[in-house]
Structure 1
Amino acid sequence: MVDSSKTHEPLLVARGITRLFGNAYALSDASIALCRHEICGLLGANGAGKSTLSRIVCGHLPASSGEILFKGAPLTAGSARDALRSGIALVAQETSLAPDMSVLENIFLPSYALPGRLSFSQLRHKARAILSELGHDHALPLDIEVRRLSTAQRQLVEIAKALALNADLVIFDEPTASLSPLEVDRLFDIMGRLKSSGKALAFVSHRLEEVFAITDRVTILREGKTVAEGVPTAGLTQADVIRHMVGRDIGNVYRKAVSPAVTNEQAVALEVTGLHAPPIVRDVSFTVRKGEILGLGGLVGAGRSESAEAIFGLRHRSGGRVLVGGKEIAPNSPIAAIRAGLGMVAEDRRTQNIVPDMTVGENLFLAQMGKHRGFGRGHSARRKQAHELISRLGLPTDRMDANLLHFSGGMQQKVVIARWLLIEPEVLILDEPTKGVDIGTRQTIYELLREVAERGIAVVVISSDFEELLGLCERIVVVSDGYTIADLPTSRLSEESLTLLAAPRSSAERNAAFLRDLVAGHGGTAFWGLIDEDRFVCLAVAESARSAPMGLAAGHVYLAHETAIPLALGRRQPGHVTESDGRSTVLTPLSNRRGHDLGWIGLSLPAGSKLPNAETLSARVAGLFDTPQDEKIDA
C-alpha cells in the first residue's frame, strides 16, 4: 500500500472498513482519509467498492467492521439523516430523488426533516442561486416534476440538493457521468470554491482526465481493498492510476484497428429526416451508413436522448420520417423498431434498461422476446451465442441465474449491451454507453463496438464525453436546442470546437445579434468562430445583402485555405489584414468574464471599404459581457 503524509488534519478517517453482502465481501480492509481544503479522488474499477465505501461514510449502509472518526470523534451515523445532521452529504451516482415532487422540493428535501418552519420564498431564491451557479437556472424550472426530467437533469438536481445542505464533507459519486465539458467546468468551479471555504470533498469518477484536473490526492481501491491511500495527484500519471486500479497496463483505450473507411457508396442503414417530438426535439436529421460509428454530441437538454427515444418509439413522434434499411418504420412503436432492426441501450441503466428482480439470463434475453415471433421465446437458438458473448465481455458464465442487482454498474451495462447484440440489429443506438464504468470496461466496450461496426452494423453513440466521441466515432452530428446544427468528420473537430458548436442557440443569440449590428453599420460579412490550427469552425455569420457572400455557414468547419480570408485566419491576431484580392478583415478575440476563450469575432469587407477601428471593435466585443446575465452566452 502506498501512503503519503497529509497536508491538513483529516476531517474524516475510515480504517479497516469491511462490508459483507451475504458471503461476498464488497469491502475488505478499506481505508480513506478526507481533509479540509482538499479534494480527494476515490478511484477503482467497477465493483472495487467505491460506492459501498461512500454509502457507509454517509450512513446509507452499516459497516460489517471497522472504525470511522469524524472531527476527531467516532461517527455514530445510524442513518443518512444522522450523517446529514453531522455535516456529511452524498451526491449519489444513482439519483435518490422523489419523482412526484418538484425540482424545488427535491433540492430542499433533507430540510423537511429539520425543526422549524420553512419559507418557500427564501428556498426558491436560494435554489435559483444554486442553479445559476451550475449554469442551469434558465433550463431547470423549479416547479416541474422531477419525473419529467432527463437523467442528466436529475443528476444536476442531485448536485444542487447536496450544495443546499452546506455540509462540511461532500462525496461526489460520479457527478459528471451525464454532464458535458461545459457543465463539468461549472461544477469544478463550485467544487473549487467549496474547497477554498474549508470543506472536505471526495470525488468518485472513472474519467481520469477529470481526476487529474480537480483532485489534490487520490485513494485507490481494488477488489474491496485500499491499494493506494492519500497519494498526491501531481506525482502520478494515468498509467500509474490504471495499474493500481486494474493491476495491468491497458494502453490507449481509443486505439482503432486498421480497416477500410466508410464511404458514401455503402448503404444507408438509418435515415432520420425532420424528426419532431415536442417539446424538446424540433428538427433533427441525420444518416448513418452500414459499418459506421456516428456520434450525437450536445449539451444536457439539447435533445439527443429525446431524439433517440423518438426514433425507437419510446417518445411520441409528431413529425419526420425514420427509415431503417430504406423502409419507414411506424412511429411510437418499440416493437416495430426492434423488428425493423433497431436496438437501443437507453441512458438510465436502472430505470430504463434492467429489470431488477430478474436474473442475468432473464435480462439478457428480454430483447429476443420482443423480436421473436410465434410460440416460445427463441432462447434455445441464441443460448450458445449468449454464452460466447458474455464470456467475451468478461461476465461470469456460471452466474446466469444470479440477480442482476448483485453485479456492479459496469457489469450491468455489459449485460444490457449484450442483450441487444444478441438480436443482431441493423442499427445499434447507445445512449451514454460508458456512463459510470471503469477504464478497463470502457476499453472492452469500445473494442466490441468497433468489431460490431466491422460486421456491417451501423452504430450511433450519444455521449456527453466529447473525448469519447472524438476517439470512437468517424462523424459527429451536433444537436443544440432540439435542432441538428452540424454534421462533421471527427478529423476536423476538437473538444474545444465541439463545445462551442454545442452551445445552446438561445445562449449564443447575443453574439449573433452583435454580428447583425456590425453588418448593419458597416456592410460586408461578420462572423464568430474558432480558429484551431489550420481550421476555422464557423459558429455564426451575418452578411449584408449588398455584398458578395463569402461562403461561410454556421455549423461548418473549413480549412483556412478554403475560405476567402486565409491570411487573416492564418495570422489570427487583432487588427486589419488584407488578402490578395484586396478584401480586408479585422479580427478580435472573444472571451467571457471568467477569461475563457470563446473564439474570434471578425468583420470582412470588400476592397475599398472602410473598416472600423480595431480597438473600437475590441471594446465593443468586450462589452458583450458587461452584465452578469450575459454569462449565459459563455457556453
Structure 2
Amino acid sequence: MSSSPPPEDGAPLLTATGVFKTFDRTRALAGAAFELAAGEVHGLLGANGAGKSTLSKVIAGHVAPDEGEVVYRGRPVRLRSTRDALDIGIAIVMQETSLVPDLSVAENIFLPELGQKGRLSYAGLHRRGEELLAALGQEGVLPLDMEVRRLSAAQRQLVEIAKALGVRARLIIFDEPTASLSPGEVDRLFAIMTRLRANGSGLVFVSHRLEEVFEITDRVTVMREGRTVLASCPTASLGQAELIRHMVGQDVGNIYAPRAAQETSAAPVAFEVANLAAPPAVRDVSFSVRAGEILGLGGLVGAGRSETVEAVFGLRPRRAGTIRLAGKPIDPRRPAQAVKAGIGFVAEDRRQQSIVPDLSVKENLLLAHLGAHRGFGLGYRSREADVDALMKSLGLPADRLLDANMLAFSGGMQQKIIIARWLLLEPKVLILDEPTKGVDIGTRSSIYGLLRDIAARGVAVVLVSSDFEELLGLSDRIVVISDGQSIADLPAALLDEEKLTLLAAPRTSMARNTAVLRSLTGEAGGAGFWALIDGDRLICLNLVVADRAADPGFAAGEARAFADTGIGTALSRCGPGFATEPGFVAEPTGERSTMLVPLRNSRGHDLGWVGLTLPKGAPTPAPEAVRRQVETLATTL
C-alpha cells in the first residue's frame, strides 16, 4: 500500500466514522467515531468491553471493520493487515509487547526489515538504532546487542516505541502502556511521548489510570458499549467525576472511600512472615498483618513483591524464613498446603494462572473448593447457597453460572469471580497480586468495595499493587520492598506517592547517596542521613552512622515524630514555615549538633533533606563545605 500524502494544514491526521465490528454474536463496535490531530496526545477511554481496544486494532490494521470509514492524512484507507498500517505510518505499542525474545534489541527494532532481500548491515542497524534512541532522548539507555528476554518491562516498551519510529510511524497507539511500569518509568515514558508530540506525531493513549490521562492527554474520547459517547473533548475542561460518569454511565463516588471506622492495631496478628528468602528475587523480606487489616506491599516493578507472595503460597521454593498463621508455624511448600492452612491467593496474570477457559463459570468459581474438598464426589451441593449469595453480590445473573467459557466475560468480571472463588473457602488470609490490573474504573470501584468488606469480616488482606494511588487509598499499612528486601513498614496515612516512590527506590540506586553520606561522616565523624520531613514528623530514607554517640534516634525506613528523635530542635528548624539554619544547630542537652540541607534535583523537585549530626566535642566542618557535598549529590538525582 502506498504512503498517504500529508494532511492539509489544520486537517485531522486521522478520522474514523461509523465503525461497526461484530465477533460471533458479540457486537464490539456500534458506529464508533474517533478523530486524532497531529501533534496531540488523545486519550481513548472506556470501561472493559467498551470497544476501545477493538477500535485501536481497526486503526492499526489488526482487525478489519464490518462497516465504517477510516481517513488517514486526508485519504480514505482500507487496512487489511498490520503491514498495511505500518507502510503508511500507523503503529501500535501493546501492553503485552510483540517482541522476539531471542533476538537482540537492534534486530527487534528493525524486525520488519530482516526479511527483505539483500545483505543486512548490522553496523548500519546499530547506527540507526542509536539515532532513534537519541531522537527519543534515551541515548545510552538500551544495550543494542542485548537479547530482549533480558530486558525489563520498561526497556521492552522502549524497544516497541523505537520499532514504531523505525518504520517512520506518524500515528502511534499506546494500549495500556503503563500497566506494568513503576512511577519513575511512567515519567520517562511520558517524557518520550511529550517529545513525539512536539515533533508532530499523533498519539492515542488507552489507559484506565485517570490520573495519567489528566497528566498527558490534550483531548479525550470516551466509548461505552461500542459507541462513542464523548468525542474529542479537551481534557482540561473535564473533572475526574465527570469523566467517570461518561465512562460508566453513573456516578461511582469516591473509589477510595474510607472503610467504616475500626481499630485494627489492637487486633491479633493473623499472619507473619519473617526473613523470607527465595533467591534470586527475594533476599530478606519480613511483614505481619493483623485480622481485619489491609497491608500493602509497595515497591517498583522487579523489586520482588510478586515473588515474595508466590513463595509464601508455595509457588516457588523458599531457602529461608518462617511463616506463622494465627501464631502457629506453617510451612506451605505447595499451593494445596497453603489453601488447606487457610491462605487464598489471587495471582497477577489471571489468564495464565487463575482461569481455565474451557470450564464454566461455576466450575471456575469452585476450583479452590475442589482443592480443599476431601471425600467422594465433587461436593458442589454443599456450596450452592454460598455460590448463589456470591453471584448476587457480584451482580451476575444465576443463569450465567453455566456459561461455557470464562473468556466471554470482561476482565473485571473475571477478576471478581476469581476473588469470589476464595471467599467460598472463608480464608484467614487473602493475598492479591495486582488485583485491578487492566480493569476499568467502575470495576475497580466494586473490587475495592469487595476488599473492604472482606477485611471488615476479619480477614487479613495482603495487597500487591504497582499503582501507588491504589496502594495508598486501600492500605492501612505499607511495607516497602526494594531489591528483594523489606526496608520500611509505615502507616499509609504518613505517605503520599512522592514519599512512597523515594522509599521504593532500588537500593542499588542509593549507592551515590550512601557514598555522599559516608563522605560526610568520614571527614567529620557522626551520622549522616537522608530524610523526608512532613509537619513534625520525619521519615528516614537512608542512614550512615560512623559514631554511635551521634545516633540521631531513628533508622532507615522508620517514621518518627521530632520529639521522639535525638535531634528534635534541629529538625524543627527545617519544617514548613521555618527558616533554614545556615549551620549546625545544637540540642538543648548539648550532646549533639545537626546541620540540615534541602535536597532538590536538577528539575527543582523537593527530595527531602540531608543531615549531618555530630556528637559533643567533635570538630565541626565548615557549613559551606557540607552544603557543596549535598549539592553535588542533587545534580545526580
Larger-gyration structure (1/2)? 2
Q: Could you say what secondary structure the match of 2:203 adopts?
A: strand
Give the residue type in structure 1 aligned to 2:149: E
The residue that corresponds to 1:356 in the other structure is 357
From 85, 104, 118, the equivalent of 1:83 is 85
The residue that corresponds to 1:580 in the other structure is 588
Give the residue type in structure 1 aligned to 2:322: R
The residue that corresponds to 1:479 in the other structure is 481
The residue that corresponds to 1:68 in the other structure is 70
**Deviation readout 1:427-461 (Å, 9 max, x if unpaired):** 11111111111111111111111111111111100
The alpha-carbon deviation at position 487 of structure 1 amounts to 0.9
Task: Judge conservation of contact 1:134–1:186 (CA < 8 Å) in 2.
Answer: no
| Compared CA separation, residues 60 and 243, structure 1 to 2 (3 A) | same
**Deviation readout 1:283-331 (Å, 9 max, x if unpaired):** 1111112211100000010000011111111112122122333444444
Distance in 2 (alpha carbons) for counterparts of 1:12 and 1:361: 44
Distance in 2 (alpha carbons) for counterparts of 1:232 and 1:72: 23
Task: Judge conservation of contact 2:130–2:139 (CA < 8 Å) in 1.
Answer: no
**Deviation readout 1:571-602 (Å, 9 max, x if unpaired):** 32362252433443222222333433322211
Give the residue type in structure 1 aligned to 2:147: D
Question: Aligned pair count?
Answer: 617
Alignment of 1:137-286 (within 5 A): 142-143=146-147, 145=149, 153-154=152-153, 156-166=155-165, 167-264=169-266, 266-286=267-287
Distance in 2 (alpha carbons) for counterparts of 1:7 and 1:476: 52
Task: Judge conservation of contact 1:107–1:158 (CA < 8 Å) in 2.
Answer: no
The residue that corresponds to 1:554 in the other structure is 556
More moved, 160-169 vs 203-212: 160-169
The alpha-carbon deviation at position 468 of structure 1 amounts to 1.1
| Compared CA separation, residues 480 and 117, structure 1 to 2 (3 A) | farther
State the TM-score, normalizing by the size of structure 2.
Answer: 0.90
More moved, 105-114 vs 75-84: 105-114
**Deviation readout 1:85-121 (Å, 9 max, x if unpaired):** 3222222234445566677765554454555555556
| Compared CA separation, residues 580 and 595, structure 1 to 2 (3 A) | same
The residue that corresponds to 1:321 in the other structure is 322
Q: Could you say what secondary structure the match of 2:487 adopts?
A: strand
Give the residue type in structure 2 aligned to 1:291: G
| C-alpha RMSD over aligned residues | 2.8
The residue that corresponds to 1:599 in the other structure is 608
| Compared CA separation, residues 403 and 563, structure 1 to 2 (3 A) | same
The alpha-carbon deviation at position 374 of structure 1 amounts to 2.3
The alpha-carbon deviation at position 243 of structure 1 amounts to 1.2
Task: Judge conservation of contact 2:550–2:614 (CA < 8 Å) in 1.
Answer: no
Distance in 1 (alpha carbons) for counterparts of 2:514 and 2:503: 13
The alpha-carbon deviation at position 160 of structure 1 amounts to 2.7
More moved, 479-488 vs 333-342: 333-342
| Compared CA separation, residues 159 and 340, structure 1 to 2 (3 A) | farther
The residue that corresponds to 1:3 in the other structure is none
Give the residue type in structure 2 aligned to 1:576: G
Give the residue type in structure 2 aligned to 1:591: R
Give the residue type in structure 1 aligned to 2:162: L
Give the residue type in structure 1 aligned to 2:470: E
| Compared CA separation, residues 380 and 107, structure 1 to 2 (3 A) | farther
- Stretches of structure 1 that go unaligned for 5 or more consecutive residues are 1-5
**Deviation readout 1:188-207 (Å, 9 max, x if unpaired):** 11111111111111111111
Alignment of 1:483-522 (within 5 A): 483-522=485-524
The alpha-carbon deviation at position 178 of structure 1 amounts to 2.3
- Stretches of structure 2 that go unaligned for 5 or more consecutive residues are 1-7, 575-579
Q: Could you say what secondary structure the match of 1:309 adopts?
A: helix
Task: Judge conservation of contact 1:588–1:614 (CA < 8 Å) in 2.
Answer: no
The residue that corresponds to 2:434 in the other structure is 432
**Deviation readout 1:182-239 (Å, 9 max, x if unpaired):** 2211211111111111111111111111111111110011111111111111111001
The residue that corresponds to 2:467 in the other structure is 465
Task: Judge conservation of contact 1:523–1:546 (CA < 8 Å) in 2.
Answer: no
The residue that corresponds to 1:288 in the other structure is 289
Distance in 2 (alpha carbons) for counterparts of 1:174 and 1:301: 19
The alpha-carbon deviation at position 568 of structure 1 amounts to 3.2
Distance in 1 (alpha carbons) for counterparts of 2:9 and 2:48: 29
The alpha-carbon deviation at position 129 of structure 1 amounts to 8.5
Give the residue type in structure 2 aligned to 1:391: K
Task: Judge conservation of contact 1:34–1:200 (CA < 8 Å) in 2.
Answer: yes
More moved, 129-138 vs 451-460: 129-138
| Compared CA separation, residues 86 and 421, structure 1 to 2 (3 A) | farther
| Compared CA separation, residues 511 and 87, structure 1 to 2 (3 A) | same
State the TM-score, normalizing by the size of structure 1.
Answer: 0.90
Task: Judge conservation of contact 2:61–2:79 (CA < 8 Å) in 1.
Answer: yes
Task: Judge conservation of contact 1:581–1:607 (CA < 8 Å) in 2.
Answer: no
> Sequence identity of aligned pairs in percent?
55
| Compared CA separation, residues 111 and 599, structure 1 to 2 (3 A) | farther
| Compared CA separation, residues 135 and 461, structure 1 to 2 (3 A) | farther
Task: Judge conservation of contact 1:107–1:127 (CA < 8 Å) in 2.
Answer: no
Q: Could you say what secondary structure the match of 2:378 adopts?
A: coil
The residue that corresponds to 1:393 in the other structure is 394
**Deviation readout 1:320-344 (Å, 9 max, x if unpaired):** 1223334444443111111111111
**Deviation readout 1:339-387 (Å, 9 max, x if unpaired):** 1111111111222222233332232222222121222222222233223
Q: Could you say what secondary structure the match of 1:165 adopts?
A: helix
Task: Judge conservation of contact 1:356–1:403 (CA < 8 Å) in 2.
Answer: yes
Task: Judge conservation of contact 2:518–2:528 (CA < 8 Å) in 1.
Answer: yes
| Compared CA separation, residues 54 and 397, structure 1 to 2 (3 A) | farther
